[in-house]
Each structure stands twice: as structure tokens, then as C-alpha cells.
Amino acid sequence: MELKNCPFCGSAADIYDNCSNVADEFWAQCQNKENCFAIGTAEPSFDSAVKAWNSRQIEDTLRARLEAAEAYIQAMEDRESVEAQPECFPDEEAYEQSQDDAFHAVCKAREAWEKAKGNGRI
């Protein structure tokens, strides 16, 4: 499992352990010890320390929102390009079907956006 860089300064991070015989504790810590003091939570295993350090709820939420917005914009652009070129279709029925398909793509992207908002991801 790859360890993400520090969420505050962008420097590399490492996993440390307490080297205790009593109870193992692992945590991630930013390597930029002169200017950044970011330290992750103490965890019972190496893997859980990596997972805790890599967990970026705000970043993940913003990425989900951005992906949903980009999909919605792309669907709208696709629909506009179809609307602007009816002469590219063999007949009116094919053109109308393309409009329906584009409309459904926009609706699907909008539903994904609404679902992300409803789940608290946005």
C-alpha cells in the first residue's frame, strides 16, 4: 500500500512504530520535521496506519464532486454538439433518437450528481 504525501506541506511521509514489547503502535509522520509537524493517529498495525494517513475525507469529497460536475458538463456539451448538427443524421427519426440519447445522458449525469450530494459526498 502506497503512503500519500503530507496533506499539509506535500512532503513525503514515513510510518513509524513505538518498538515496544507491550503494545505495537504505528503512525505516519511527515518527513519535513523542520517546517511541518503532521503526525497521524496511532494505529495497531502498519496497514491501518497507512490507511488512516491516506484517508482524506475532504479531498475525497471534492474529487467526487469534481467528477460528477465534469460528467454533467460533458453530457451537456455532447448534447449541444448533437443539437447543432441535425444535418449529420440520415433522417429526422435518427436525429430525434440522438436527442433522446443525449437527454438521457444528461439526466444520468445529473442523477449521479444528486446522489453524491444526498450521500453527503458533496
pLDDT in tens, 55-108: 988 888 888 888 888 887 887 777 666 555 666 666 777 767 776 777 677 777
36 shares its domain with 65: no
Q: Is the dihedral of CA 54, 60, 62, 66 positive or negative?
A: positive
Report the range out of 13-22, 37-46, 64-73, 96-105 with the highest average pLDDT: 37-46
Whether residue 88 lies inside any domain: the answer is: yes
Give the total number of structural domains in the chain.
Answer: 2
Band (pLDDT 50/70/90 cuts) for residue 28 is very high
Domain match, 39 and 62 both: no
Q: Is the CB of residue 56 less than 8 Å from the CB of residue 4? A: yes
| 42 vs 32: CA distance, rounded Å | 19
Residue 6 has what DSSP assignment?
Answer: P
Q: Which one is predicted more confidently, 42 or 57?
A: 42
With beta carbons less than 8 A apart as the criterion, state whether 1 and 55 touch.
no
pTM exceeds 0.85: no
pLDDT mean across residues, the chain: 81
Type and span of the H or E element at 66: helix 57-83
* Full residue range of the structural domain in which residue 18 is found: 13-54
Q: Are 68 and 107 within one domain?
A: yes
- Regarding whether 64 and 50 lie in a shared domain, the answer is no
Whether 66 maps to a domain, the answer reads yes
Q: Sorting pLDDT into bands at 50, 70 and 90, what band is 122?
A: very low
